[in-house]
Structure 1
Amino acid sequence: MKSIKTYVATAIAVSAIVAIVPVVNAQETTAATSATAPSRSSIRAANRELAKRVQTALYKQKGLETTDLHAIARSGKITLVGMVPDQAQIDLAGKVAESVPGVTSVKNNLTVEEEGH
């Protein structure tokens, strides 16, 4: 009789532990996720830093007209905007932007400057 009571008590204890552990782990995971999630200000700062690195690489590129050429960053994705003298400049700017560490993709919205502008 004593062994049956011990068996039942053990089964209840194990069941309680099995039921509680996933809840505790879920709470720890949620807390860890929210603690490691970057803040909006840190995301904006990272975007500004990446855009600055791309813009610097564009400025340093010999033969590239950068007077009206701007880089916008959002989570590793770069968008190039502005006007350049010809299609070769558009292609070159895209290649330079792609080569910057941290850039995951480039959307090249550069346009060829019209005559007389």
Structure 2
Amino acid sequence: MQNPSQSFSWNSLIHNIIPLSSQTNVARPLQSINKTPAEKLTDLAPSSENDALSNQIKDYQKQQLPVYITVRRNMGNMYTKDTLFGYFQKYSSHPQSQMVIFEDIDSEVNFMIPKQEILAIWEPHA
């Protein structure tokens, strides 16, 4: 009779194991960008572009005008650009507020969208 421990070697077992991280069908998170503390602070500080966007959103919310917006959204490990048609709702007047609530007319769904994800806003032509 043959000894079962002699039918294989430990090296053959170790070399046949494929680590989970090397499989191609496993979703990997996006690589984070290393930032200095000063760069992280500037991301939090409101910029003039952000203030202009806030003022534009406030105007559309007060007038209840339907608008098209193009937003960037994270879907798993991919970013998509979506165009939504609807109204801005319940916009916070707090200057540090980074979220906007948008009511989509087509699907009757309210989206909570970060301001930095809004790429464009435009009015429909009559």
- Normalised to the residue count of structure 2, the TM-score between the two structures is 0.26
Q: Which one has the bigger strand percentage? A: 2
> Which structure's CA Rg is the greater one?
1
